[in-house]
């Protein structure tokens, strides 16, 4: 309303406001797929073009009303995004960028040479937008209000998504995709949701752009537009709610400054980019976040808990055994595991020790589906799971932590733990995107239960602060809490005591015993033998990929072969 009142007295400012509103919608869509989900798709402007052309062709060739044509264009963009997702779903970084750039080039060629799209001449005679029998003339205040409604809608969708479980999954896909699998969520599915959601919003932006200019051609959706889009996100701050607003406003003013300076637009744009990104590589909002972090007091590490877990986090009672059967793993010519067998029972702690290179982490990766065994297998209550993908294994009740905590650094501590409920939530992706009542209920319950679980682990301070700003012991507990939030039958702890003080490690042992007392089977991997011995019911020793000893802790640690494996010589 305020912007409309300010610009209404000048046709030029009306034009700028409409242009900025349409650009904002496109920037929001790219911020969702790149800033939040970390998918660097160079095809986004091509999808934007598909939305513009589809909307106009539906109106011009089939007489579809403006609103329905716009929805059709958004839907077609979602389908195009699905087509783009399928062959690129396993690609990352440079390979993803190259593949999506290839898609963009292909779309550009189609738009340029296909007679249906007008070829090189583009589409002329695009009809005015019409709603309720009333024509909305381009570049007038009535069109500004139409574009403003679209911009507010895009902002609201972005705000709801990024504050929901879907938003946390997007950030996890960007920062720690392995953590998604660990809580039972398919990274591929999350990537698909990001593609479709961003594609639909890009289609809305394309429709508004086409009905503002009343003429579109392939060059409107080329490399120049892509560069400007990327810069808008980078200047404002990728992965922030206000970043698209700041980025679009900054580029509009930079563009106008270039026009006013007699054609030095490119020079001014380049200098502005160097200055802004040189001093604020995370964009202006990233700079604000860093400044705020400097003045935030760093919480001290607290004593770890001695209280039992809440009843709702007890194990899945119908699962009682996790068995590794004669598992061997070959990496090229190296045998990392050689005919290893062990079993973990519900309610017990099995310690897994061995010198560096013994194969401990490889064994964990086999159990959790990250590595397929060359021979042998893994059974959960008699059912084979070694062929399942990691997120499926987690959904079945076998979860893990990592040697280095895989947390979402910029997400709150309680938000990180709430991610653990994503794999057991009943909310649908669409429900989370539109913020349905059931999705809100699930989100509120997840945050509340996450806070309760953290309280049970004696993490009281900093629950709403970014996890990356917390003490290392708190980060360890946060990852363990996230694993417990999945309500597992078995949890595999990979070096949970690494980096902790002696006191923290001793009290962590109490936590692990409490987890086992709740009926959860624990496989504990650690280099600290005394720590493992203090908490474990049984110990399994690996050396050079083979089982060296297995049995009660006191008996195993007295065996000469075990002592020699750790200390060498005749120790």
Instruction: Give the phi and the psi of residue 337 in degrees, each rounded to 5.
Output: -130, 140
The average pLDDT across 336-356 equals: 92
129-155: buried (b, 16+ CB within 10 Å) or exposed (e) per residue? beeeeeebebbebebbebbbebbeebb
The burial of 357, by beta-carbon neighbours within 10 Å (0-12 exposed, 13-18 middle, 19 or more buried), is given as middle
Q: What is the pLDDT of residues 481-538, one digit of tens each?
A: 999 999 999 999 999 988 888 888 888 888 899 899 989 999 999 988 889 999 999 9
Q: What is the pLDDT of residue 571?
A: 46
Q: What is the pLDDT of residue 528?
A: 87
Q: What is the pLDDT of residues 95-133, one digit of tens each?
A: 999 999 999 999 999 999 898 888 888 898 899 999 988
Q: How far apart are CA 505 and CA 526, in angstroms?
A: 11
pLDDT for residue 316 is more than 70: no
Crossing angle for the helix pair 472-485 and 502-517, nearest 10 degrees?
A: 10
pLDDT for residue 149 is more than 90: yes
29 band by pLDDT with thresholds 50, 70 and 90: very high
Show Cβ contacts of residue 487 under 8 Å, excluding neighbours closer than 6 positions: 312, 313, 314, 315, 316, 397, 424
Q: What is the pLDDT of residues 125-144, one digit of tens each?
A: 899 999 988 999 998 999 99
469 band by pLDDT with thresholds 50, 70 and 90: confident
Is there a contact between 539 and 557 (Cβ–Cβ < 8 Å)?
yes
Is there a contact between 539 and 562 (Cβ–Cβ < 8 Å)?
no
Q: How far apart are CA 131 and CA 333, in angstroms?
A: 68
Q: Which structure tokens are listed for 230?
A: 């990327």
Report which secondary-structure segment, H or E, holds 376.
Answer: strand 375-380
More confident residue, 83 or 9: 83
Q: How far apart are CA 163 and CA 264, in angstroms?
A: 41
Q: What is the pLDDT of residue 307?
A: 47
Q: How far apart are CA 395 and CA 302, in angstroms?
A: 32
Q: Using CA atoms of 408, 414, 417, 421 in order, give the dihedral in degrees to the nearest 10.
A: -120
Q: How far apart are CA 54 and CA 163, in angstroms?
A: 31
Alpha helices in 261-325 (DSSP H): 265-279, 283-294
- CB 507: neighbour CB atoms within 10 A? 18
- CB 534: neighbour CB atoms within 10 A? 16
Distances (CA, A) of 35 to 32, 186, 315, 495, 537: 6, 20, 37, 32, 46
Q: How far apart are CA 286 and CA 243, in angstroms?
A: 9
Match 């194990």 to its residue by tokens.
315
Question: What Rg, from alpha-carbon coordinates, does the chain have?
Answer: 28
Q: Which structure tokens are listed for 561?
A: 């072969």
pTM: 0.88
Three-class HEC string of 359-372: CHHHHHHHHCCCCC
Distances (CA, A) of 453 to 165, 450, 463, 537: 18, 5, 11, 25
Long-range contacts made by residues 7-15, C-beta under 8 angstroms, separation at least 24?
A: 7/144, 8/141, 8/144, 11/139, 14/139, 14/140, 14/141, 14/144, 15/139
pLDDT for residue 364 is more than 90: yes
Distances (CA, A) of 365 to 119, 182, 316, 532, 551: 53, 11, 22, 20, 23
Q: How far apart are CA 526 and CA 322, in angstroms?
A: 19
What rounded mean pLDDT belongs to the chain? 86
Is there a contact between 44 and 225 (Cβ–Cβ < 8 Å)?
no
Picking from 84-98, 238-252, 369-383, which range would have the lowest pLDDT averaged per residue? 238-252
Crossing angle for the helix pair 187-213 and 165-175, nearest 10 degrees?
A: 100
Q: What is the pLDDT of residue 296?
A: 55
Is there a contact between 77 and 199 (Cβ–Cβ < 8 Å)?
yes
Q: How far apart are CA 192 and CA 501, in angstroms?
A: 42
Q: How far apart are CA 554 and CA 540, in angstroms?
A: 12
User: Are β-strands 546-552 and 398-400 bridged in parallel, bridged antiparallel, or unpaired?
Assistant: unpaired
Q: How far apart are CA 522 and CA 225, in angstroms?
A: 53
Cα 514 from chain centroid? 31
Match 């716009």 to its residue by tokens.
70
Crossing angle for the helix pair 283-294 and 243-260, nearest 10 degrees?
A: 130
Q: What is the pLDDT of residue 438?
A: 80
């Amino acid at each position: 309303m305020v912007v409309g009142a300010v610009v209404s007295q000048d046709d030029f400012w009306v034009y700028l406001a409409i242009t900025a509103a349409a650009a904002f919608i496109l920037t929001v869509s790219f911020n969702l797929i790149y800033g939040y989900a970390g998918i660097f798709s160079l095809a986004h402007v091509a999808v934007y073009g598909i939305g513009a052309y589809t909307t106009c062709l539906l109106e011009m060739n089939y007489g579809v009303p403006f609103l329905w044509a716009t929805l059709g264009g958004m839907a077609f963009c979602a389908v195009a995004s699905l087509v783009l997702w399928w062959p690129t779903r396993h690609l990352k970084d440079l390979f993803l960028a190259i593949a999506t750039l290839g898609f963009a080039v292909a779309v550009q060629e189609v738009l340029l040479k296909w007679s249906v799209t007008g070829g090189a001449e583009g589409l002329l005679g695009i009809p005015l937008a019409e709603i309720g029998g009333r024509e909305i003339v381009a570049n007038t205040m009535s069109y500004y209000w139409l574009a403003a409604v679209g911009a507010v809608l895009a902002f609201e969708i972005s705000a709801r998504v990024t504050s929901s479980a879907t938003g946390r999954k997007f950030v996890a896909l960007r920062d720690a995709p392995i953590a998604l699998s660990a809580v039972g969520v398919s990274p591929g599915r999350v990537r698909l949701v990001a593609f479709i959601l961003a594609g639909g919003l890009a289609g809305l932006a394309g429709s508004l752009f086409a009905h503002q200019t009343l003429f579109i051609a392939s060059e409107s959706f080329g490399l120049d537009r892509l560069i400007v889009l990327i810069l808008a996100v980078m200047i404002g701050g990728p992965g922030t709610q206000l970043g698209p607003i700041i980025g679009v406003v900054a580029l509009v003013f930079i563009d106008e400054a270039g026009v006013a300076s007699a054609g030095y637009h490119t020079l001014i744009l380049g200098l502005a980019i160097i200055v802004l990104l040189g001093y604020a590589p995370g964009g202006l909002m990233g700079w604000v976040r860093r400044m705020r972090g400097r003045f935030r007091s760093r919480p001290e590490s607290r004593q770890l808990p001695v209280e039992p877990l809440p009843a709702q986090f007890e194990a899945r009672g119908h699962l009682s055994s996790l068995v590794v059967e004669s598992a061997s793993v070959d990496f090229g010519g190296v045998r990392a595991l050689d005919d290893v067998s062990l079993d973990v029972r519900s309610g017990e702690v099995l310690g897994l020790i061995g010198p560096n290179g013994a194969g401990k982490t490889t064994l964990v990766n086999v159990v959790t589906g990250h590595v397929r065994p060359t021979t042998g297998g893994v059974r959960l209550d008699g059912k084979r799971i070694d062929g399942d993908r990691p997120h499926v294994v987690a959904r079945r009740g076998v979860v893990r932590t990592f040697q280095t905590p895989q947390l979402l650094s910029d997400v709150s501590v309680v938000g990180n733990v709430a991610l653990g409920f994503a794999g057991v939530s009943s909310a649908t992706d669409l429900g989370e995107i539109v913020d349905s009542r059931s999705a809100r209920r699930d989100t509120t319950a997840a945050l509340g239960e996450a806070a309760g679980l953290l309280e049970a682990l004696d993490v009281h301070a900093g629950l709403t602060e970014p996890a990356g700003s917390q003490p290392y012991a708190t980060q360890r507990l946060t990852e363990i809490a996230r694993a417990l939030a999945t309500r597992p039958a078995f949890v595999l702890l990979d070096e949970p005591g690494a980096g902790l003080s002696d006191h923290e490690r001793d009290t962590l042992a109490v936590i692990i015993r409490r987890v086992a007392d709740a009926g959860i089977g624990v496989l504990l991997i650690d280099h600290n033998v005394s720590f493992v011995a203090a908490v474990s019911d049984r110990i399994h020793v690996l050396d050079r990929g083979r089982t060296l000893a297995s049995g009660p802790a006191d008996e195993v640690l007295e065996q000469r072969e075990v002592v020699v494996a750790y200390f060498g010589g005749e120790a």
